Amino acid sequence: MSDQTKGAANAKAEFITPPKTLQNKVDKGGPGAVDLGALAKAEAVIDNLAGDYLDWVSEDFIRLEVAFVALKSGAEDDKKNIDAMFSIVHDMKGQGGSFGFPLMTQICDLLSGILENGVTFGPRDHRAMRVYIDAMRVVITHKLKGDGGKEGSQLLMGLQLMRQKG
Partner 1 sequence: MSDYNLSRLNFLIVDDNKHMLALVKGILHALGVKNVLEAVDGADAFKELRHFPADVIISDWNMSPLDGMDFVRMVRTGSDSPNPFVPIIMLTGYTEMNRVTEARDSGVHEFLAKPISAKKLYGRIKSIIEHPRSFVRVGLYFGPDRRRKANPNYNGSERRKEGSDKMVALPGSEAAKAAEAAPAPAPAAEPAAAADDGGEEGGMSQDDINALLDM
CA gap 48, 8 in Å, rounded: 49
CA gap 30, 50 in Å, rounded: 31
Q: Which is nearer to partner 1, 37 or 123 (CB)?
A: 37
Residues that bind partner 1 (CB under 8 A): 4-5, 7-36, 38-39, 41-46, 48-49, 52-53, 56, 87, 90-91, 93-99, 102, 105, 108-109, 112-113
CA gap 9, 3 in Å, rounded: 10
CB of 124 to partner 1, least distance (A): 21
Q: Which is nearer to partner 1, 59 or 74 (CB)?
A: 59
CB of 159 to partner 1, least distance (A): 15
The answer to whether the CB of 113 falls within 8 A of the CB of 96 is: no
Which string of b and e fits 40-64 if b means at least 16 CB within 10 Å?
Answer: eeeeeeeeeeeeebeeebeebbeeb
Q: Which is nearer to partner 1, 15 or 123 (CB)?
A: 15
CB of 14 to partner 1, least distance (A): 4
Q: Which is nearer to partner 1, 8 or 69 (CB)?
A: 8
